[in-house]
Amino acid sequence: MCRWIVYVGEQGLMLEDLLIDLIIRVNNRFLPGLYYGLEAGDKAELAIQATWINIHGFGVGWYTDTLAKFDDSVTGMQPAQYRTIAPISTDLAFAQLCRHTASKCTLAHIRDASFPPVVEVNNHPFIFGKYAFMHNGSVNNFGLIRFDVMQRIFQLQDTVQTLAIASSVPNANYVFNILGNTDTEHLATLYFAHLDIIKAGLSSAARYRTAMPFGVDSTEALLLALINTITDIHTIQYKYGVGPFTPGPFPPGENFAGNKLNLCITDGGKQMLVCRWRDAENGFPPSLYLSLTAGEKLNRKYFPVVPDPDNSENIGNPDVKIDSVRELIERYEDLPPTQQGRHVIVGSEPCTEFVSDWGLFDQNQCVIVDDDQKLQILNLAKFFRKGRQHEFERYGFSEVIKQINRSDEKAPVLGIGIPDHIPDLPAYKTDAFEVELNLK
């Protein structure tokens, strides 16, 4: 399994302080509470993933406003990037970069390749204009469905080019912007093609004097693009009978064929969407943890030396009980503000050894941060089950989809809408905790 971490906050954090411990532990796992309460089959699958060693390269993206200070055509923070296939723990250039760089938004990803080649263009995060995208997991049977995914990207590309829609890639050449062979880069390209079309639909509403429920740079647009992307993957997998649509019957507890999509999208260094997704009947996605307080201990201004955790926390035991995201939020609301200010850290494993700072994501849980530091936690699975029509209307997605599909003689039929093909998930995978709150 790949390993990644993302930080978004109102104060900057040095890359060295955020990433050095992750780099030191590159061949070790720190997964407190991951196995707690799981049945033997689920625990075994996660345990196998935890034995994989990350030797296939590293990438980091961090947001900076440097370019905007020298180029009037650029506004706001933009993602810079460093990628290498060298062993990250011995990369002296990267160590120097981390020691002298701080950012209010940083993404880092250590790759465990699903298939070769091991080349820099396959390393995450992937950059699309002001956006960055990274992934831990896999698109099931990607080799089989890859051509259809490319065709779908080309269809969206043709629409963007025909209508001269502002694009996140040069000249709206999404297909030709794909440099590697990973499922992630294809998934990211499909995602940003959808996002560009959503933004175009929202912008075009003014021509029809139609009020839209959210704006072009909103986190709702980021979420709808994710739903549309997963919908496309499901549509193609349904055609081939793979992924969550692999035909049974299966022996009890042995249908692990779905997609594992632990995804992160950042927007302008202020907004973020992450999810822990698995659409198989059985099995769990890779680990994902949330913290709203750990940044204070990581900042050397406040903790020049990170204190040792209490031995009683039993941090090395993946079977130990730790907080869920629900319990983490409940405790957070009673805490005073941290010196680090409002911030969110999400990682495939905690980057501090204070278990009380972290909560383990539920299956199919999604965490969203907007540019006003409002935190939204929702159940992504509800958009892919019975009653999804109500959810699309509740979030205003139906109005936006109608606007996108408004008849236009120049536009090909896109087929964007409420999902037709939905995985048959048990209740425990569709009932993730939801909440909205303003960070303090």
Q: What is the CATH number of the domain that holds 48?
A: 3.60.20
- With respect to residue 319, please indicate whether it lies within any of the assigned structural domains: yes
- With respect to residue 158, please indicate whether it lies within any of the assigned structural domains: no
| Residue pointed to by tokens 């093609």 | 193
Q: How far apart are CA 58 and CA 160, in angstroms?
A: 32
**E strand residue ranges, 237-278:** 260-267, 271-278
Q: What CA dihedral angle connects 263, 266, 271 and 276, to 10 degrees? A: 10
Kindly give the confidence (pLDDT) of every residue in the chain, 440 residues in length, as a single tens digit, with 9 standing for 90 and above: 678 999 999 999 999 999 876 665 555 667 666 666 566 666 666 666 655 555 567 899 999 999 999 999 899 999 999 998 877 777 788 888 999 999 999 999 887 666 667 777 888 899 999 999 999 999 999 999 999 999 999 999 998 988 888 899 988 999 999 999 899 999 999 999 999 999 999 988 877 778 999 999 999 999 999 999 999 999 999 999 999 999 988 777 677 789 999 999 999 999 999 999 999 988 888 889 999 999 999 999 999 887 777 654 566 667 777 889 999 999 999 999 999 999 999 998 888 888 889 999 999 999 999 999 999 999 999 999 988 999 999 999 999 998 888 755 555 557 899 999 999 888 878 889 999 999 99
pLDDT of residue 426: 82
Q: How far apart are CA 272 and CA 27, in angstroms?
A: 28
pLDDT of residue 405: 83
- With respect to residue 424, please indicate whether it lies within any of the assigned structural domains: no
Give the DSSP H or E segment for 62: strand 58-64
Q: How far apart are CA 262 and CA 124, in angstroms?
A: 13
Query: Beta-carbon neighbour count of residue 307 at 10 Å?
Result: 10
Tell me the whole-structure pTM to 2 decimals: 0.93
- With respect to residue 235, please indicate whether it lies within any of the assigned structural domains: no
Domain count, the chain: 1
- With respect to residue 168, please indicate whether it lies within any of the assigned structural domains: no
DSSP output for 288-317? -EEESSHHHHH-TTT-SSPPPPPGGG-TT-
- With respect to residue 252, please indicate whether it lies within any of the assigned structural domains: no
pLDDT of residue 193: 96
- With respect to residue 166, please indicate whether it lies within any of the assigned structural domains: no
Give ∠ CA 293-298-304 in degrees, rounded to 5. 130
| Residue pointed to by tokens 């950012």 | 103
Domain that holds residue 65: 1-133+279-364
- With respect to residue 71, please indicate whether it lies within any of the assigned structural domains: yes
User: Are residues 324 and 362 in contact, defined by beta-carbon separation less than 8 angstroms?
Assistant: yes
